[in-house]
Structure 1
């Protein structure tokens, strides 16, 4: 619970005690994680558990330090990424899935409750923003609100994850019925008041994925492969249709010009990608606005950004086509394995990794959350848990 909370509360922690305090927290966690892995090395079955795509992506990001134009910044960004990955791997190896779901649910409840409490204090009781926390105090006018996460999109992202988690908690009777219903109401309230157009799209995708997964789980085992291929075809057709009608989609979702801002940023990012298409500019994770190409991109769009607001473009920019292919493989294996796990296991708990991965990767089309902090931690956890039963290496002889 502490590790999940620390990964999700990067903005709040840095706002209160700065980067040194945040680094101290992560250092303490990674020391504990390493000690746990050493202590349990004889109990953990390592063969086939750690996805090669996760390890390969981390390794390629580390290798990019050597050709980066800002090597010390790249090294710091890579260590930050590797630390969170190690914490996620430890959680996945040392806890059952239901324990992870319950821990995540407890964290989401607290963080969303604190977020709503601060928004009520700022927007209604005091009627003044809290700039140092990134809270605008807009609750009284219907939002958007940011909570403890700094942006409405990150709040909406966490609220969607919380909805998925709390519904599964309620279905598995991991919490009392009243607590489960109150948690779902809290997450839905944060989702609505966040006013995030990105989250609207993610919510629609999650609703569709949940419906499809429910249909697959209710289908007899002998007919599931046919339904799975039909769903795969439907997803491909939908993606092609969405891309073909992308202008219309952007117009429908262009709330307050937000998607237009993203579009300009993506064009500027793509021009920087063309300069180093194979190996990229070097991994840094969160952008450093003082070094190229990030300084040039921000100057071109006239705004300061800490990411490309698109995880896949960010990967292309920082670690090039090679890194993108490894990351694409990581995402593909995580989706396929978690979906098969959710389809073939009777317990509804196994639906959690599949729905969380879909949420993370869908959000990645408009934010870079899957690459840093809480999004990266949850992606690693789900990838490792999904590989437990579907890794090809598990079939090799001892």
Structure 2
């Protein structure tokens, strides 16, 4: 390509409008990668991901003033991705690890791009537009499958049960994944409403769409996750209205209350599981965790090597079965999953990265006046609680959300900015 043509392309992709569109496309592809693979297969999905990385690089080159990441990119995140990369040294499945590492880094790079070129309100707007398109498309397919044609779309994971009241899977592939997107949509649409970013009519449609997604997904996991996000949201509402001195004292009270609440929930976990009708889901997950724990004991320190989504034909992943005899593509728990793949070292790095990101995001959300600063903190709560029953945090859209939220929090609360 001629230099003048390359310069013109760089300037075009670096424009505010092109940057916003590219951001929305990246978020959409990341959140429904399952559907992308169903439509175009793994080769097509890799080609799309590679194209997005190239376009993001050119776009960032067209706005070099935004490419200041060294002082805010969290060291804990760098440590996590570095551990993934070096795990190829001891990996039991070298080629699978090589692909998994590249795949994870690709979504990490796209997350960094979004965090660099979009401020927080622009990020929430992009997230809202992407989720509106995803959830609307999901209901269109569910109506076609479950009402008009009355035939399951097995190729994309839709069972066609909308007319029976669900559960529905939409473009997410599973009811739990769709419910996760519904919960993220509620949070994003609520922030849009509070910041008056979209017209009221669109807000009403968006919140109705998100609520319908959660209801028809019929995911017992989503009820517990929404309860945690709601509790965190109410705590932030209280904190944001207090004076700084009172706020610091209240933070300590809330921390103790959260610890006590977690202990009570654990003690009465059987009753909680029964109330939300999650007995079957929990049995399936505990059977997988039990099988994985034996594998973790064989490689406790550094794990078997990073691979991301499980290649179900490769040992040790091929040996894991749920209580129903099904072969899962993850450990159905991000903390167990990283313990299997990166051992105790990986678990420590992940928990540290999550903890630092959450503390930064929480303090920023407590101090800053605009409601938009609540989004990273509550998104991290959503990811952390969902990670107890799914491994979304480690893959694709969940990983992108983690990187973006951690970066947004560090931008406003990085200790390295205080260095001369």
Which residue is equivalent to 1:322?
345
Name the residue aligned to 2:40.
17
Work out which of the residue numbers 359, 368, 373 in structure 2 matches 1:336. Answer: 359
Q: Which residue of 2 aligns with 1:211?
A: 234
Pick from 120, 133, 142: which aligns with 2:156? Answer: 133
Matching of residue 241 in structure 1 with residue 264 in structure 2: yes
| Structure 1 residue 293: Cα displacement | 1.4
Contact 2:169 2:178 in 1 (8 A): yes
Aligned-residue offset at 1:298 = 2.7
Measure how far apart 1:36 and its partner are: 3.5
Alignment-derived partner of residue 91 in structure 1: 114
Q: Is 2:382 the counterpart of 1:373?
A: no
Q: Does 1:364 align with 2:387?
A: yes
What's the counterpart of residue 410 of structure 2? 387
Pick one of 189, 212, 232 that aligns with 1:166. Answer: 189
Q: Determine the C-alpha separation between the residues in 2 that align with 1:72 and 1:142.
A: 43
Q: CA deviation at 1:150?
A: 0.6
- Superposed CA deviations along residues 181-204 of structure 1, whole A, max 9, x for unmatched, are 110000000110000011010111
> What pairs with 1:269-348 in structure 2 (closer than 5 Å)?
269-298=292-321, 302-348=325-371
Equivalents in 1 of 2:56, 2:32: separation in Å? 19
* Separation (CA, whole Å) in 2 of partners of 1:277 and 1:300: 24
Provide the aligned C-alpha RMSD in A.
1.4
| Residue 112 (str. 1) matches residue 130 (str. 2) | no
Higher mean alpha-carbon deviation, 46-55 vs 333-342, is at: 46-55
Query: What is the deviation of 1:35?
Result: 3.0
Between the aligned partners of 1:42 and 1:150, the Cα distance in structure 2 is 39
**1:231 paired residue number:** 254
The CA deviation at 1:240 is 2.1
Preserved contact between residue 360 and residue 379 of structure 1 (Cα < 8 Å): yes
Query: Does the CA contact (< 8 Å) of 1:268 and 1:300 recur in 2?
Result: no
Q: How does 1:4-153 map to 2 (within 5 A)?
A: 4-153=27-176
Instruction: Name which of structure 1's ranges 298-307 and 215-224 shifts more when overlaid on structure 2.
Output: 298-307
Contact 2:87 2:305 in 1 (8 A): yes
Q: Match of 1:48, SS?
A: coil
Distance in 2 between residues matched to 1:219 and 1:47, nearest whole Å? 34
8 Å contact 2:302–2:345 — kept in the other structure? Answer: yes
- Is the Cα contact below 8 Å between 1:369 and 1:376 reproduced in 2? yes
Q: Please, which runs of 5 or more residues in structure 1 have no aligned partner?
A: none
- With 210-219 and 249-258 compared, the bigger mean Cα shift is at 249-258
In structure 2, relative to structure 1, the CA distance for the partners of 1:115 and 1:256 (3 Å cut) is farther
Higher relative contact order (CA 8 A, sep 6+): 1
The Cα offsets for residues 150-209 of structure 1, whole Å up to 9 and x where unpaired, read as 100000000000000001101111100010011000000011000001101011111111
How far apart in 2 are the matches of 1:135 and 1:210? 32
Q: Is the 8 A contact 1:279 1:319 kept in 2?
A: yes
Post-superposition, which runs of at least 4 consecutive aligned residues in structure 1 deviate over 6 A? Answer: none
Contact kept in structure 1, 2:179 and 2:213, CA below 8 Å: yes
What is the deviation of 1:256? 6.1
Q: Which residue of 1 aligns with 2:16?
A: none
Q: Which runs of 5+ in 2 are unaligned?
A: 1-23
- Is the contact made by 1:115 and 1:148 (CA closer than 8 Å) also made in structure 2? yes
TM-score, L = length of structure 1: 0.97
Tell me the SS of whatever aligns to 2:155: helix
Q: Which moved more, 1:186-195 or 1:242-251?
A: 242-251
Deviates more, 1:38-47 or 1:23-32: 38-47
Q: Given the superposition, is the C-alpha separation of residues 173 and 42 from structure 1 closer, same or farther in structure 2, using an over 3 Å criterion?
A: closer
Preserved contact between residue 37 and residue 44 of structure 2 (Cα < 8 Å): yes
Give the Cα–Cα distance (whole angstroms) in 2 for the partners of residues 138 and 33 of structure 1: 39
Q: CA deviation at 1:334?
A: 1.2
Q: How many residues align?
A: 397
Moved more, 38-47 or 126-135: 38-47
Contact 2:99–2:307 (8 Å) recurs in 1: yes
Residues 1:277 and 1:173: Cα distance change in structure 2 (over 3 Å): same
